[in-house]
Structure 1
Amino acid sequence: MKAEFEIIQPDEGSSFRILHHKVSAGTFRWSYHYHPEYEIVLVFQGSGRRHVGNHLSYYTNGDLVMIGSDIPHSGFGYGAIGTHEEVVIQFKENFLGDGFIRVQEMSAIKLLFERSKQGISFYGETREELNLRFRKLLELSHFERLIELLGILQFLAKSTEYVLLNASDIRYNFSLKDQERLNKIYKFVEDNFRQEIDIQEVADLSSLTIPAFCNYFKKNVNQTFTEFVNEYRINQACKMLLKGEDITDVCFHCGFNNVSYFGRVFREFKGKSPSQFRRAFIEELNQSVSA
């Protein structure tokens, strides 16, 4: 899978770029790309897919991720459910000059930049706080945005509410063979999730034995293959549920052969039952329409 190089220009009158997207999720085009700019992505709400380096997983109820320079990634709106709204900040390491990152006051932010080489997902109160700050960021002048960006970076640098998405630095110098192999696996799951998946077939597709495949997948994706397949199936189930389809039909259409097991796995990933998920989404949608 070849990542495309993306050219990014700062906003006029600014040293970095801020993007604000609020669109129907189905309009997002999948694009695996990289650029020298660091990137902070905040998805305000909803569910979708994150693909950062070798890590592929799904987020629920919003997301906050920092992506380092030259790390390949795809748009977070791909695979989203309902309306997708996000703010993206893109900036080069030297956006305030070649020496600014080396001054003593930037020591914590310098460590944050180092961690971001693996991709960082933030959660908890950190994400809640930045939900508010990113909303306000859009209303500020260029100078005020600059000051606020420094505050946001320092806030993220001090946070302990994060997980690293990749086991090591995965800037765009990784094995093309690995990317092609993972892309085959993802495509196979996408094409076959409705039926029982034989792990031997996937291992053969990867030119690995079953034990070697299981170790390889866990190392590169930070999930077992079973977890990955179940998460993919549940996210497909969410889309069907929001179209009003019957829960039992959704269960079997998404590759589960037992309604009870489907409900248990759904709750593991979404924190609620299929019926509760659908009801909560409808209530949220009605509130946003009436607001």
Structure 2
Amino acid sequence: MKTELEEITHPSHRSIQLMVNPNLSDFFFWHFHPEYELVYIEGADGTRHVGRHISRFAGSDLVLIGSYIPHLNFDYGVKTAYQKMVVHLRPDFLRDTGSGTPELAPVRALLDLAAHGLAFGPETRAALGPRIQQLHTLPAFEQFLELLHILKALMDSPDKILLHPEPVKNAFTQKDQDRLRRVYAFIDTHYQRRMELRELAALTHLSEAAFCRYFKRMTRLTFTEFVNHYRIDKAKKLLLRGQNVTEASFACGFESLSYFSRTFK
């Protein structure tokens, strides 16, 4: 699947677009677009990869992403049943309201903060998740008003987290993003065995040293750190399905039970 600028088509009479349960779990979709994106996902454990930020979420996640910030689809690799709502806001959403509508200042401030990428804690997810899920059931005008209420509540949230200390500038070239897509696909296919650095270097047409620098620049993790995180996540799922520690560790590519135990902690 090609990594590209996603073009989101908005009806001329709408400033927002909703996507109800888009299922992309089998696809690595590393993409960006000019629209703001509000994502709520429930019933899944997955990877939150926004710009240079990579972390795990468990059970649910609620994230607001600013314009042109590259990000991975939040359901990538999820194998369980889940609910997902994606809200896209035009890049000029509220831009022309100006000083004549000071009541909207908190919402404009939230959209400014979205340039950092924002995640929200369990209190906010519990309060707003169900409301976000119901947006698609409302008529257009009521939907717009409810979204404003949700955005105001997000700005007032006590548990919002900046994913980057500075606003994110999309400095990833198309070549960088295509390389990362190939690396992720390789890891997903081969994580159960030893992966040699020379294989990744050949895959990305880089020297081994250049690949290490590239991967750290893109993810802020070494390749070994990233693979360990990935394998641990897979092992946790096997443990929850009833496999014992030894079976889970070797099934996910760990060659030593002691190393698995140290990494798992």
Following the alignment from structure 1 to structure 2, what is the Cα–Cα distance between the partners of residues 175 and 265?
33
State the 1:144 CA deviation: 1.6
Following the alignment from structure 1 to structure 2, what is the Cα–Cα distance between the partners of residues 13 and 242?
47
Note the aligned Cα RMSD (angstroms): 3.6
Q: Can you list the C-alpha shifts for 1:148-169, whole angstroms capped at 9, x where unaligned?
A: 1111111212224233334544
- Are 1:99 and 2:96 counterparts? yes
Following the alignment from structure 1 to structure 2, what is the Cα–Cα distance between the partners of residues 181 and 31?
13
Give the direction of change, closer, same or farther, for the CA distance of 1:219–1:7 in structure 2 (3 Å limit): closer
Alignment correspondent of 1:29: 27
Q: Secondary structure of the equivalent of 2:125?
A: helix
Give the direction of change, closer, same or farther, for the CA distance of 1:178–1:42 in structure 2 (3 Å limit): same
Question: Which AA in structure 2 matches 1:16?
Answer: I
Q: Is the 8 A contact 1:101 1:110 kept in 2?
A: no
Alignment correspondent of 1:273: none
Following the alignment from structure 2 to structure 1, what is the Cα–Cα distance between the partners of residues 124 and 37?
17
Following the alignment from structure 1 to structure 2, what is the Cα–Cα distance between the partners of residues 168 and 135?
30
Alignment correspondent of 1:79: 77
Following the alignment from structure 1 to structure 2, what is the Cα–Cα distance between the partners of residues 161 and 217?
30
Alignment correspondent of 1:281: none
Question: Which AA in structure 2 matches 1:69?
Answer: S
Question: Which AA in structure 2 matches 1:87?
Answer: M
Alignment correspondent of 1:131: 129
Alignment correspondent of 2:229: 231
Give the direction of change, closer, same or farther, for the CA distance of 1:180–1:118 in structure 2 (3 Å limit): farther
Counterpart pick for 1:145 among 132, 143, 146: 143
State the 1:256 CA deviation: 2.3
State the 1:52 CA deviation: 2.2
Alignment correspondent of 2:7: 7
Q: Can you list the C-alpha shifts for 1:215-270, whole angstroms capped at 9, x where unaligned?
A: x756643445544222211222245456665542221121224446545654x5xx
Following the alignment from structure 2 to structure 1, what is the Cα–Cα distance between the partners of residues 70 and 185?
18
Q: Is the 8 A contact 1:31 1:75 kept in 2?
A: yes
Correspondence list, 1:249-260, <5 A: 249-259=247-257
Q: Is the 8 A contact 2:3 2:177 kept in 1?
A: no
Question: Which AA in structure 2 matches 1:8?
Answer: I
Q: Is the 8 A contact 1:3 1:72 kept in 2?
A: no
Correspondence list, 1:234-245, <5 A: 234-241=232-239, 245=243
Following the alignment from structure 1 to structure 2, what is the Cα–Cα distance between the partners of residues 2 and 19?
21
Give the direction of change, closer, same or farther, for the CA distance of 1:201–1:8 in structure 2 (3 Å limit): closer
Q: Is the 8 A contact 1:50 1:74 kept in 2?
A: yes
Give the direction of change, closer, same or farther, for the CA distance of 1:101–1:160 in structure 2 (3 Å limit): farther
Q: Can you list the C-alpha shifts for 1:134-183, whole angstroms capped at 9, x where unaligned?
A: 23434322222111111111121222423333454445453445445544
Following the alignment from structure 1 to structure 2, what is the Cα–Cα distance between the partners of residues 124 and 82?
20
Q: Secondary structure of the equivalent of 1:83?
A: coil
Following the alignment from structure 1 to structure 2, what is the Cα–Cα distance between the partners of residues 127 and 188?
33
Question: Which AA in structure 2 matches 1:152?
Answer: I
Following the alignment from structure 1 to structure 2, what is the Cα–Cα distance between the partners of residues 197 and 162?
37
Q: Is the 8 A contact 1:3 1:34 kept in 2?
A: no
Following the alignment from structure 1 to structure 2, what is the Cα–Cα distance between the partners of residues 150 and 41?
15
Give the direction of change, closer, same or farther, for the CA distance of 1:50–1:35 in structure 2 (3 Å limit): same
Q: Secondary structure of the equivalent of 1:45?
A: strand
Q: Can you list the C-alpha shifts for 1:86-107, whole angstroms capped at 9, x where unaligned?
A: 11111113335x4125543333
- Calculate the TM-score normalised by the size of structure 1: 0.72
* Percent identical residues: 37
Alignment correspondent of 1:162: 160
Q: Is the 8 A contact 2:198 2:208 kept in 1?
A: no
Following the alignment from structure 1 to structure 2, what is the Cα–Cα distance between the partners of residues 54 and 2?
20
Question: Which AA in structure 1 matches 2:71?
Answer: H
Question: Which AA in structure 1 matches 2:96?
Answer: G
Question: Which AA in structure 1 matches 2:27?
Answer: R
Following the alignment from structure 1 to structure 2, what is the Cα–Cα distance between the partners of residues 107 and 149?
15
Q: Is the 8 A contact 1:48 1:81 kept in 2?
A: no
